[in-house]
Structure 1
Amino acid sequence: MPLYIMCMRPNSFDTKLFANRDEEYSKIKGKIGMFLDNRDEERRKLMIYGERGVGKSILIRKIIKDISEERDLISIMIDGDEARNPEDLLRDICKNLAGELHDFYTKNQNKNDVIDKEIAFLDYISYAKTLKDTDVITIVERLEGNIESSIGILNILTLRSKIGAVDGKDHTTSHEIEQSIDSKFIIKLLENVTKKIHDFADILIYIDNLDQLEDKDSIDGFVTEIIKLKKPIIVTSMRREVADRNIGRDFKEVQYIEPMTSDGLMLVLKKRLEIGCPKKDELLRTQLLDIAEILKDCTGNPLSFLTWLHYLIVDADLDSSGIVNNLRGFTKAHYSTFDEPTIERIAKHFISAGSEFLPKEKIISELGIENDLLDMLDDFGVIIPENRYNPHSYKISSDFMFYRLDS
C-alpha cells in the first residue's frame, strides 16, 4: 500500500541531508581553504565533475555553508539549470551578489548612500536590457566625489558618462544613446566590483549544474569569460560528459566525484529517515530496508537509488519479491516517451555487455535501432554519451540499473 510521504526527497539540496562524502568533503574544503589563504593567486578556480545524481550539488553546498560560517566570506550560488545562456548566468550573479553585498554591509554597519545606490544598480543590471546615457550621467553626478566609498561601479559609470557626453551634446533629447547590457558589459562591471570588494573581503561564486545551460555549445565560451574575473574564487560543478579537457584546462584544480559505495547509499537512506520523516516508524515496519539492501548493489548513484525508493513508497508497493516488476512502473511513469519493453531491452543489453560504454555503431547494429531513435534516447537521458561534444559511445542511465536484478 503506497505511503504519501516525501522522506526520500531525491532532489533535495538541504545540507542537513549530507551524508557519506567525508573524503571528498575534506579534499574540496581543503582546496577552497588554500584559495582563501592565497589571496594574491588569480587562478583560484575549481571544477567539480561527476555523473548526474552522484551528489555534487549537496556536497559543494555543504562545504560552502560550513566555510562561510568559519571565515569572512561573501558567497553566492547560482544554478545553470535555471538559465538559458551565459548572459542569464551573469545576470544571476549580479542579482545574487547585490543581495549578498546588501547583507554584508548591513551586518558590518558600514553601508552608505553611495554603496546603496551602487548595489541597487547592480540589481538593476540583472534584468535591464539597455542603459541610457542620461541615466548614467545622472547616477555619476549623484555619486561624484565619493569614489572612496564606491564598490567599483562608479568607476565604470564615470567612464561611460564621459563617452556619452561627447562634445557636450545634450542627451536629454529623444536621440539619446542607449547601450545594450550584454555579457561583455556585465563581465566588465563584475570585474570592477569584485576587484574593489577583494580589498577587504573574499568572494566565492559557485555555479552549479553548468552543463544544464539550454545552449550547450556556449558552455566553453562562458568558462572563458568567467575566468576573466581574477579576484573571486570560482567553483563550478558539471556532469562528466561535459567536463572535457578544453574546459578543465582553465581551472587550477579539478576534482572528480566517484560513484557512491553500497554502504554509502544505506547511510544516505538512514539520514533521510532520521531528518524530517514523520512516518519513519511506519516505514521501518515495511520491507523498505530489505528492498534498499537489494537495490544498493545495482548502482552507485544516490539520485537513482532514492528515486527508486521514493517511487516504491509513494506509487507502488514495498514488496521485496516484486522489485523489478514494480519499478517497471517507474520506467513507464518517468520515461513515458518510450514503451517500457524497449527501454528494458536496451538496458539489459548494456548491463550484459560487460563494458560501461558501448560504441554508437555497435549499439545500432546489435539492438537493431535507427539513428533517430538513438538520438531520442540521448535527448531524454536514457543513454548518456561519454563525451557530449563528440558522442561516439554511450552508457545506459543509472536509472535503469535495477534491471540487472532480472538479467
Structure 2
Amino acid sequence: ASTDPGYALERESRQDRTLWRFAKRAPKTYSITYRVESYDPYLSPEATFVSDRRAVALGYSTFLVPLELSDYLPCTIRVRIDAPKSWPVWTSWQGDGSQFTPQSVHELWSGGLVAGKFKESRLESAHCGVTVLTEDRGAARGLNVANRLLPVIRESVELFGAAPNSKFLEVMALYRTMPMTDRKSRMMGVSENNSFFCLATADRYQDLEQITLLAAHECLHFYLGGAIVPKPKPPFNNSPELIWLIEGVTEYLAHELMVEASVMKPARFNEIVESKRKQVKEHEYASVSLAIAAGKFNRAETYQVVYSKGFLIAQALDQYMAEQSGEGAFDAALRDLFQTHNFNETHEWVTASEVKAIFEAHCPGAAAWIETYAEGSVAHPNVSDASQSE
C-alpha cells in the first residue's frame, strides 16, 4: 500500500486484522493505493479475484477503512466498480450500475459483489427474492436451485417475522465449480450479508438436495449468527456456549423449513434424522458437550458431531417445548429472540443467559433443559417420536 508522496505507511499485523499507520501526521485529505492478494479462486468460496471474464470481491478481504470509523454507526461510504461495460454487476449493497453506498463499515465488510460472465436466475415473492448466479453451463441448475431456495427463504422470513436488516430479504447466491483433484469430491459454502457463495466440484451439483440444504443453512445464518449474534471467539465467529443455537438450530431449521416449503419430503427428513443419530452414536466426541466440540472446530473431524448433534438437540428442544407449552413454542421463542436481540438494531452481542431467558419465558423449564442437554454433556433425549409425519 502507498499514499500520496511524502506520507509513508507503517504496517502493524494483529491476530484479527492488519493496521496501516501514517509514519507522520496524516494530511486532512489523502488517497491510498493498494493491491489485494486473493485466495486461490479454486480453493475457497471466500476468494476475492479478478480474471479476464469475471470478478468476485468480498468486502472484508478487499477494503481498507479509517480506524476511527465505528463498525455499525451510519457513515458515508461510496464504492465504484470500474468493470468492462459489457459486464453485469450484482452486489449485496444498495446502489445501481457501478455506484454503491453501503450504510456502515459492517455492511461494507460483510457484503460482496459479483461481476462478469455469470448466468442469472432470479425469482421473488412478497417479502423476499433470490438471484442465483452460475458459471457458463449452469443456467438450468441455477433455475432449479432458485425454485427450491426461494420457498425456504420465504419460510425463514415468516418464521422470524421480518427480514434480518430491511423490509425485503434479497439474497444473492453464487455457485462456482472447482476442479476435482486427487479424485476428491468437495463442496464448501459461506454466507455474508444477504449473500451466499458456494464452491464445489462438478459432481456435487448433481445433488440438488445437498446444494439447496447448504444454501438454506447459510441463508439462515442471516438470522442465527448475523442478526442474533454472540460475541465472537476463536477459532470461529461463535460463542461455544451458544454453538447449539448458531449451528445446531440452524442445521435443524434448514431441514425443517425445506419440509415446510415442500422442497423435502417428510420421509426423507426422517431418514436424515436416523442418519444423524447414527453419526453421533458412532463418533468419538459423542459424549462431549457441544461447547467443548466447538473449541476444536478447526479440526475437520468435529464438524460431524457439531452439526449432527446440534441438529438432534434442536429437534429434541422443539419437541420438549411443544409438549410443555404447545405447538409453536420453539418458533415463538426464536421470533422473540430475533425481535429483541437483532444486532442490526441493538448493535449488542447476545449472551447465553439472555437466550435462555427468552426460551424460558416461552416454556418454563426450557432454560434448565438447555443447560443440561445443549450446554452440558448429558446425552440428548430420545427424539425418535419427533420425526415428521407424512
Q: Do they superpose with TM above 0.5?
A: no
Indicate the structure with greater helix content. 1
TM-score, normalised by the number of residues in structure 2: 0.27
